[in-house]
Amino acid sequence: MSWKSQLADSITTPEQLSERFGIDPEPLRAVAASYPLRITPHYLNLIDTSGDPIWRQCVPDLSELVVDGLPEDSLNEAAFSPVPAVVHRYPDRALLLVSGQCAGYCRFCTRKNRVGTTALTFSTEQIAAGIAYIAANSGIRDVILTGGDPLLLDDDRLEEILMALRNISHVEIIRIGTRVPVTLPERITPQLCQLLVRFQPLYLNTHFNHPRELVAVSVKACARLADVGIPLGNQTVLLRGVNDDPEVMVALCRGLLKMRVRPYYLHHLDQARGTAHFRAPVERGLEILAAMRGQVSGLGIPQYVVDPPGGQGKVPLLPENLLEVGETVKLKTACGIVELPNSLLR
Ligand SMILES: *Cc1c(COP(=O)(O)O)cnc(C)c1O
Ligand code: SF4
């Protein structure tokens, strides 16, 4: 079956979830009205039991509506957005938001207030303006296609965007951030791989969070990309009740290495509204990292990072960068000392 028909067969309503799992759809209607719901047939089939690590990532939960005092734009991206489709926070790198849609909507998404809605869906003209911005800023060497999920675009549209970026001489590398190898592996067709490889150097970063996601079709999707020569990385988010466990993370990272996917970042959860039930404390993340040393090849140990609100950029979380852990967490960073309320890091 084609990826488009797989996508069209996704679950998008609490009623469909109720049919499948016999749960009461009523309480989930309000959640699904606030934040989009989509679970592909592939991802749905990975669920074993209600509340398991796959379920938690994709099935709406009433906790999402708890008023948690967390901001909607946790990374203050609006302040770094010179034109609507671009986020330009580091001088040499820019995000280009090319698609507002994802194959599945992760309940913990940092952009959950906008993903899957018109607020994150930019017109062809707005994306052209984003590309023009990049063309006019010769300091930008690295363009990261994101959204939403860039691989929900058709091949033709993706090709147009990649060609426009490749026409800019100062753009040295292109990266694509995508979760389709996890949620919609059918999207990684041989044709897509042939298209992407024309725009090298092009890196693809995907987003596996749990070893149970490393199933045969996803392994095959990654193998197709690796076989044509696309370097693969993985960004994981530390999630309570999903992967906040050394054994799980060891299995995940070992499994990724076997798939030729290099663990890149372990993100401490961003402070986005409606995600507080996924928070794990910094100490837990550091403990997991310590446990990985000695059990996983150095090649497979991701950098543990936090993106503090306010937009200073990512800060590596290393025991030696933690100056103080109490009411506040003080971190030593390249641009000085960052102080964060500990409650927000939990
Ligand atoms: C994370 C991020 C990047 C890419 O950062 P790397 O550390 O180079 O992977 C670029 N721009 C923004 C706004 C980011 O948040
Ligand atoms: S795939 Fe990424 S952008 Fe899309 S919902 Fe999940 S975390 Fe958010």
pTM of the complete model: 0.95
The residue whose CA has the least distance to atom 6 of ligand 2 is 106
- Residue 303 predicted with pLDDT over 60: yes
144 Cβ closer than 6 Å to some ligand 1 atom: yes
- Residue 244 predicted with pLDDT over 60: yes
- The residue ranking higher by pLDDT, 78 or 240, is 240
The reported pLDDT for the residue numbered 1 is 79
For residues 308-324, give the mean pLDDT: 80
Counting ligands in written order, which one lies closest to the CA of residue 110?
Answer: 2
Q: Which of 83-92, 214-223, 288-297, 319-328 comes out lowest in average pLDDT?
A: 319-328
CATH number at residue 269: 3.20.20.70
Q: Under 8 Å CB-to-CB from 133, ≥6 apart: which residues? A: 82, 83, 86, 88, 94
The reported pLDDT for the residue numbered 212 is 98
The 10 Å Cβ neighbour count of residue 346 is: 15
Ligand 1 center–CA 88 separation, angstroms: 9
For residues 64-85, give the mean pLDDT: 84
How many folded domains does the chain comprise? 1
Spatial contact of 102 and 116, defined as CB atoms under 8 Å apart = yes
Token pair recorded at residue 276: 């507080």
The reported pLDDT for the residue numbered 344 is 55
- Give me the domain span that covers residue 59: 3-345
- Residue 321 predicted with pLDDT over 90: no
What is the residue-averaged pLDDT of the chain? 93
- Residue 343 predicted with pLDDT over 70: no
Counting ligands in written order, which one lies closest to the CA of residue 95?
Answer: 1
145 Cβ closer than 6 Å to some ligand 2 atom: no
Q: Are strands 261-267 and 315-316 parallel, antiparallel or unpaired?
A: unpaired
100 Cβ closer than 6 Å to some ligand 2 atom: no
Cα 318 to Cα 148: distance, rounded to the nearest angstrom:
30
Q: Which residues are catalytic, by number?
A: 89-90, 93, 102, 106, 109, 111, 270, 307, 314
